[in-house]
Chains A and B, each alone.
Chain A
Amino acid sequence: MNKLSIKTRGALLSVAILVFALLIWHLATAPKVVSIPVASTGSSEYQALMGQSGGVSIEKSGFPTLTQMGEVFYKQLSSPFYDNGPNDKGIGIQLAYSLARVGLGFFLAMLVAIPFGFLIGMSPLAYEAFNPFIQVLKPISPLAWMPIALYTIKDSSISGIFVIFICSVWPMLLNTAFGVANVRKELLNVTKTLEVSPLRKAFLVILPAAAPTILTGMRISMGIAWLVIVAAEMLVGGTGIGYFLWNEWNNLSISSVIFAIVMIGLVGMVLDMAFARLQKAVSYAD
C-alpha cells in the first residue's frame, strides 16, 4: 500500500466515497412494491388515472432511483443538441447559451474592472475616494439588480448579461487594485532609477507583477458569474441551463433537475480549472 502515491490513494478514496454515496442513494430510493387489494382503493380505472398499473402500486417517494437517473443522463447526453422549438432544446445548446451570456458579461466586466482597478491601485487618492462606493455596491446580491435591470434596459436577455457584468466587476476590480498597489517597492525603485516612461512602467513592470493577483480576481469573478447565471436564467426564462432547470422544475421532474445540477457543477469545475491553469501560467517564483 505504501508504494502508492498520495494522489493515487486519494483518487481511490474518492471513487470509494462516490460508490458509497450512490449505494446509500440506491437503498434510500429502492422502490417498494406494495400490492393493494383493488377493492380498498377503488377501481382499477382510478389507479390508471393515478399512473399505476392494476392491483400493484409503486410507492412514489418523489425522489428518483439510480436507474431513473441513469436513464435521464443517457437520454439527455445521447442527443445534446436537439432543437424542438423555442422551449425545448438539448442540454448542449442550453449550456452554450449560458456560457455565451457569462462570457459576454464577464468580458465587459473585465474591460471596466481592470483599467479602473489599475487606476485606483496606482493612485491612493482615487482609492480612498472610490472605496466607500465599492464597499456598498460589492455585497449587493446580483439578482437584486434584476428588477431594476428589466425596468431600465427593457430586454430580458441583456438584463441577464448586465447581472453577470455587475457581479463580476467587484472581485476583479478589488483584486486588480490590490495587486497593483502591492507591487514590490524594489521593482518600482528600479523603474525610477532607470527613468522608465509611465506607460512602459505600467505594462512592463506593474502588469506582470500584479498579474497573479488580477487572475485570482478573475477566477473568483468567473465562479460567481457561473453561480449567478443559473439563478438569473431561472428568473427570466427563455434559454440557458437555468431555464432548463426551471422548465424541468415546472414539470416537477426531480431527476432532470439533478441532471442539470450535475452539469452545472461539471461546467463550473472546468471553468475554474481553466482559470487555475491561466493563473499558473502568469505566476512567477520570487
Chain B
Amino acid sequence: MNSYRPFDPDRPLFSSRCSCGRHASDAEHALDLSARVDEEKMSADFVEASLVKALFPQESRRRAFLKAVGAGGAMSALSGFLPIGSLQAMAQEKAPLEKPDLKIGFIAITCATPLIMADPLGFYKKQGLNVTLNKTAGWALIRDKMLNKEHDASHFLSPMPLSMSMGLGSDPSQMRVATIQNVNGQAITLANKHKDNRDPKKWKGMKFAVPFEYSMHNFLLRYYVAQAGLDPDRDIQIRVTPPPEMVANLRAGNIDGFLGPDPFNQRAVYDEVGFIHILTKDIWDGHPCCAFGTSEEFIKKNPNTFAALYRAVLNASTMARDPANRPLIAKVISPANYLNQPETVVMQVLTGKFADGLGNVQNVPDRIDFNPIPWYSMATWMLTQMQRWGYVKGDVNYKDISEKVFLLTDAKKYMGETGITVPPLAKAGYKKDKIMGKEFDPNQPEAYLKSFSVSKA
C-alpha cells in the first residue's frame, strides 16, 4: 500500500491518513510492510503525484477534475501532453553507481528521521549503496565537512544550502537540496517558571536559544515574536546553542526558552525542566525544517549515485509519512548509534501523542511529518526572512536562487539530456502559504518583505 495515489479522488494527495492496526507486533508489521512496499510502483507514483500537484496546486480543483472526468480519463488526458512514462522510466533507471561507498553526515534529531531510518531499515542497501552515517557535533561542522568533502551528502537545515550557495557565513559553495526531510516537528519550549507567562507580548528581556543562525528555528522564532510586536534583535536575546545544551541551560535557568528541534522539546518535558508552549505547526502548518542535500559537484560527478540516494531517502520518507509505521521507526532510530534518546521520548514526537509538560496529554498526529517536496516557494520565504533580519543586504534574485538550490525535480535535466520537450512546469513549485494567518505569495516576495512592521530590510 503506498500513499501516493494521485488519481484516487477519495484520498487527499501527499497524505496518508490511515492507521494500520492489523498486526500483533512491530516485527510482524515490518515484515508485512517490506512485502507491501513496491518501490518501483512507489517512485512511479511519486513522479505522477508531483506532476499532478504541479497541474493542480489546489486540492479542491484536483478532486473536482478527477470526479468530473474519472481517473482513467484524467490519466489519458495528462499523458497526452506530459511524458509521464519516460519520466517514470527516468526515476527508476538503475544505472551503475559511480560511488557506492558514501559518508553522510547527520545531527541526532528527529528531523533527520528518513535519512537515519534508511540505514537500519535497509533503504540504502536496496539501492546498492553502502552508507556510513556520521553523527556530527554541530551545524557549523555539518557545513565544514561538506565544504571539506568529508561527507558526500548531508542532513542540512533547509536554509543552509541557500546560505552556503550565497556565501553567507562561509565561502560560497554550491549546495543543493534534494528533498525536504521533515515538515513541522519543532516547538517553542519554555522553562517551568513561565507557566503563567504565555503571552509573547510580555516576553521582553527573555533569553532564547536556537540551533543555528541559518535555520528555520531562528526565522520562525523571530517571526513569532515580531508578530507580537517585539523586535527580536532588541527586545529578546537569541543565542545559538546546540540542542542538548538547550535543555541543560533551561534547567540551569540561563535561558527562558528555546525554539529547537525535537526530541529536545519533548526531552525538556521528560526531564521536567520545561513545557511545550506551542508547536511550530501552529505558526506555519507544513513549514519545512531540515533538508537532505549535497553539493552540485557531487551530483555532477555521480549522477547515478545521486539518483539512487534520492530514491532511498524518498522511499524512507514515504514510509515515515504513514502514521502506522511511526512506532517501529521510533524504535529503530532511538539507540545510541543514531539518536541516543529514550524511546518513549522519540515515540511521543513521532506519534504526536505527547505529554506537554503542563499535565495534559495532547494528540497532534501531524506534530511532525515527512513531506519530501522541496517547494521553490519555501526557499523564497527563507530568502525574504534572511533579508528581513539583515543576513542578506540588497536585492535578491529569489527565483534564480530558489530554483537553483532547491531541486524540485531532476526531471527537467534528465529530459533535456534525452531530447524530450520540457513540460510547462515554469510556474509549478510555487504555492501560497499562510503563516500565523498572514498570506505569503511567493510571486510577490518584495511586497511581502515590505509588509512587515518589525523588520530591518
Q: What is the interface of chain A, defined by CB distance below 8 A to chain B?
A: 41-43, 45-46, 49-51, 60, 62, 84-88, 150-151, 154-156, 234-238, 243, 246-252
Contacts and interface: CB of A to CB of B under 8 A. Distances in A.
B132 to A, nearest CB: 5
Nearest to A45: B361
B354 interface: yes
A236 B135 CA distance: 10
A260 to B, nearest CB: 13
B344 A49 contact: yes
Interface stretch (B216-224, B264-272, B300-308, B389-397): B264-272
Contacts of B270: 50-51
B169 interface: no
Given A250-B108, A252-B271, A236 B134 contact: no
Given A87-B336, A252-B271, A46 B355 contact: yes
B336 A155 contact: no
Which interface residue of A150, A234, A248 has the most chain B CB atoms within 10 A? A150
A46 B361 contact: yes
**Most chain B CB atoms below 10 A, which of A46, A49, A248:** A49
Contacts of B108: 250
B133 A251 contact: no
A237 B137 CA distance: 5
Nearest to B132: A86
Interface stretch (B67-75, B233-241, B244-252, B400-408): B244-252
Contact of B137 (A49, A246, A248): A246
Q: Which of B150, B247, B348 has the most CB of A within 10 A?
A: B150
Given A155-B150, A247-B340, A252-B271, A50 B144 contact: no
A87 B135 contact: yes
A237 B145 CA distance: 11
A60 B132 contact: no
A237 B141 contact: yes
A87 B340 CA distance: 10
Given A49-B348, A86-B337, A252 B267 contact: yes
Contacts of A86: 132-135, 337
Contacts of B88: none
A84 B335 contact: yes
A45 B270 CA distance: 13
Contacts of A251: 244, 336, 340-341
Contacts of A246: 137
B360 A42 contact: yes
Contact of B144 (A41, A150, A247, A252): A150
B136 interface: yes
Contacts of A156: 141, 144-145, 148, 150
Given A87-B135, A155-B148, A49 B361 contact: yes
Nearest to A248: B340
B445 interface: no
B149 interface: yes
B361 A88 contact: no
A148 to B, nearest CB: 12
B337 A235 contact: no
B342 interface: yes
Contact of B251 (A62, A151, A243, A247): A62
B416 interface: no
Chain A to chain B: the 9 pairs with minimum beta-carbon distance, closest first: A237-B137, A88-B337, A49-B355, A154-B148, A88-B336, A87-B135, A42-B359, A251-B340, A85-B337
A51 B388 CA distance: 42
B338 interface: yes
Contacts, number: 93
Given A51-B342, A86-B132, A86-B337, A41 B359 contact: yes
Contacts of A248: 340
A42 B355 CA distance: 10
Contacts of B267: 252
Given A51-B270, A252-B271, A84 B337 contact: yes
A156 B147 CA distance: 12
B340 A250 contact: yes
A51 B355 CA distance: 10
A12 to B, nearest CB: 38
19 contacts: A42-B360, A43-B361, A46-B359, A51-B270, A51-B342, A60-B272, A84-B337, A86-B133, A86-B134, A87-B338, A151-B144, A154-B148, A156-B144, A156-B150, A236-B137, A236-B141, A237-B137, A237-B141, A247-B340
A235 B344 contact: no
A80 to B, nearest CB: 15
Contacts of B271: 60, 62, 252
Contacts of B135: 86-87, 237, 247
Interface in B235-285: 243-244, 247-248, 251, 267, 269-272
Nearest to A84: B337
A88 B335 contact: yes
A156 to B, nearest CB: 6
Contacts of A151: 144
B90 to A, nearest CB: 33
A49 B342 CA distance: 11
A250 B342 CA distance: 12
Contact of A51 (B137, B251, B344): B344
B244 A87 contact: no
Given A42-B361, A155-B150, A237-B137, 7 more contacts: A42-B360, A43-B361, A46-B359, A51-B342, A86-B135, A88-B335, A251-B341
A250 B244 contact: yes
A29 to B, nearest CB: 15
B104 to A, nearest CB: 10
Contacts of A250: 108, 243-244, 340
Contact of B355 (A50, A235, A238, A249): A50
Contacts of A60: 271-272
Nearest to B134: A86
A87 B341 CA distance: 13
A198 to B, nearest CB: 46
A55 to B, nearest CB: 15
A185 B360 CA distance: 82
